[in-house]
Amino acid sequence: MNQALLLECAARYGTPLYVYDGDRVLEQYRSLYDFIDYDKLEIHYAMKANFNVGILKLLRDAGASLDTVSPGEVLLALKLGFDRSKIIYTANNMTDEEFEAVLSLGVTMNIGSLSRLEKIAKRHKGMRLCLRFNPDVTDGDSAATMTGGDLTKFGILFDDLDKVKALVDRGNLKVIGLHEHTGSGLQHTESVYRSMDNLMAIATPENFPDLEFMDFGGGFKVPYKPGEARVDYRQMGREIREKFVAFCQGYGRKLKLYFEPGKYMVAECGSLLVTVNTIKHNRTRTIVGCNSGFPQLIRPMLYGAYHRIVNLSNPDGKEAMYDVCGNICETGDRFAEQRPLPEVRESDVLSIENAGAYCYSMGGVYNLRPMPGEVVVVKGVPALVRPALTNEELVDRILAMSDGAIPKKA
Ligand code: LLP
């Protein structure tokens, strides 16, 4: 994002602050329609990556569909005016109560376990649903984000196809879609093709005669590290199209093609702006202390993820090596370790890049610090879509929520 604009946002709204480039989000969304030239393509944005209301509204107005994973996500989407027909619900390990609540909202349910399918076959005869299979392909940018393969909890194994068919018959169910999701930040385009092939192999008219769509999940990666190659999505789009068109010919009907990107849509569109308040020279390390911490951007600490850091205030400073740390009482509270940066001084504003996906949305208030505010920039104009709570407001909310639990003095 434009560095002058980021500095302006930091000055106007204070830090820590998330800033998202709304136009870039729309560009990312539209680029997939350009790359995957198939007229029945539907991009379901995985809103778990970033549920900022400003971003969701931009995508709603652009016609996007959604991938949702909790009753809360479905409720937010419906309240924002997303059409229920555009929402797919892919929760795992859901309770009966959650299942019934979401079902009653009329969105398409994506079912990833025999246990749930069995209950549906018993209680919801004739239901239209999507089935999630485990693609049997393992890929992702960290072990924690690989969803395919036997070691994960996701999807139904292909080995269980006969059991699935028996349950579908027993419940007279209508399987309108098949789904798989291989992982997040897929390192090899081959993995996308292999997962597609594996799922398409069982999607025969004999097995599933009522299919209306095939959903191949998300996982499209974007570069995080300097010099990391960008996937040739135009080429990948061509291959996907070719595969899917051939599949539809075999199936005998032109099906809809769904993808569910999260990172691809928003990761590169966001920055977390933080201000340096302390510089400490330890024996071997120079430690930069700033006014944010891992509860506000947890990916480096949780996955060892790399996020580029830009010193907005001193871009031409002499390069030195730093540990960039937060303000939380844990040693692992670091955004970067041994990172070369242009000289960092107290009061400098740093931008932690690629902070649009799974950063705010995975945040929390550990150590009782309010989450940063969020700004969305559209056509160069910033809007504070969600202000940060003050310390006072955060504490008052906690007290108000817990009020009934405070024992009254006798
Ligand atoms: N569809 C399903 C069923 C998913 O489980 C996910 C992500 C997506 C789509 C979107 O994947 P994406 O395009 O964003 O890679 N917190 C982790 C990522 C977890 C992804 C969980 N599921 C991270 O920060 O790397």
The answer to whether the CB of 145 is under 6 A from ligand 1 is: yes
Q: What is the pLDDT along the chain (410 residues), one digit of tens a residue?
A: 899 999 999 999 999 999 999 999 999 999 999 999 999 999 999 999 999 999 999 999 999 999 999 999 999 999 999 999 999 999 999 999 999 999 999 999 999 999 999 999 999 999 999 999 999 998 898 888 898 888 889 999 999 999 999 999 999 999 999 999 999 999 999 999 999 999 999 999 999 999 999 999 999 999 999 999 999 999 999 999 999 999 999 999 999 999 999 999 999 999 999 999 999 999 999 999 999 999 999 999 999 999 999 999 999 999 999 999 999 999 999 999 999 999 999 999 999 999 999 999 999 999 999 999 999 999 999 999 999 999 999 999 999 988 777 677 76
The answer to whether the CB of 89 is under 6 A from ligand 1 is: no
Residue 323 to residue 313: CA distance in whole angstroms: 18
Smallest CA separation from ligand 1 atom 5, residue: 181
The whole-number pLDDT of residue 145 equals 87
Cβ neighbours around 174 below 10 Å, total: 15
The answer to whether the CB of 260 falls within 8 A of the CB of 46 is yes
Beta bridge mates, 310: 351
List the structure tokens of 26. 């729309």
**Ligand 1 center from residue 188 Cα (angstroms):** 16
CA angle 67, 70, 75 (to 5 degrees): 85
Smallest CA separation from ligand 1 atom 8, residue: 218
Residue 190 to residue 194: CA distance in whole angstroms: 6
In testing the pocket of ligand 1, which one of 70, 260, 359 has its CB within 8 Å of the most ligand atoms?
A: 260
CA distances from 295 to 242, 324, 361, 363 (A): 43, 15, 10, 5
The answer to whether the CB of 216 is under 6 A from ligand 1 is: no
**Ligand 1 center from residue 317 Cα (angstroms):** 37
**Ligand 1 center from residue 122 Cα (angstroms):** 31
Taking alpha carbons only, the member of 340, 266, 257, 313 closest to residue 28 is 266
The whole-number pLDDT of residue 397 equals 94
**Ligand 1 center from residue 16 Cα (angstroms):** 25
The answer to whether the CB of 263 is under 6 A from ligand 1 is: yes
**Quick one: DSSP state of residue 359?**
T
Residue 280 to residue 5: CA distance in whole angstroms: 29
The per-residue b/e assignment along 325-350, b for 16 or more CB within 10 angstroms, e otherwise, is: bbbbeeeebbbbeebebbbbeeebbb
The answer to whether the CB of 49 falls within 8 A of the CB of 263 is yes
Residue 410 to residue 407: CA distance in whole angstroms: 9
SS3 string of 114-144?
A: HHHHHHHHHHCCCCEEEEEECCCCCCCCCHH
Counting atoms of ligand 1 from 1, which one is nearest the CA of 217? 1
**Quick one: DSSP state of residue 404?**
G
Smallest CA separation from ligand 1 atom 9, residue: 218
Counting atoms of ligand 1 from 1, which one is nearest the CA of 147? 5
Q: Where in the sequence numbering do the catalytic residues fall?
A: 329
Complete domains list, the chain, with CATH: 21-266 (3.20.20.10), 269-400 (2.40.37.10)
Chain centre distance of CA 406: 37
Spatial neighbors of 44 by CB under 8 A, at least 6 apart, are: 64, 65, 66, 67, 86, 87, 88, 215, 258, 259, 260
Counting atoms of ligand 1 from 1, which one is nearest the CA of 302? 24
Counting atoms of ligand 1 from 1, which one is nearest the CA of 262? 14
**Ligand 1 center from residue 357 Cα (angstroms):** 9
**Ligand 1 center from residue 281 Cα (angstroms):** 38
The whole-number pLDDT of residue 403 equals 75
Q: Kindly report whether the peptide bond that precedes residue 16 is cis, defined as omega within 30 degrees of 0.
A: yes
E strands, 182-269, in order: 213-215, 256-259
The answer to whether the CB of 68 is under 6 A from ligand 1 is: no
Q: What is the DSSP string of 376-387?
A: EEETTEEEEEEP
The answer to whether the CB of 178 falls within 8 A of the CB of 198 is no
Taking alpha carbons only, the member of 171, 38, 56 closest to residue 111 is 171
Taking alpha carbons only, the member of 76, 64, 75, 73 closest to residue 91 is 73
Residue 334 to residue 292: CA distance in whole angstroms: 10
In testing the pocket of ligand 1, which one of 45, 47, 48, 50 has its CB within 8 Å of the most ligand atoms?
A: 48
**Quick one: DSSP state of residue 269?**
G
**Ligand 1 center from residue 360 Cα (angstroms):** 14
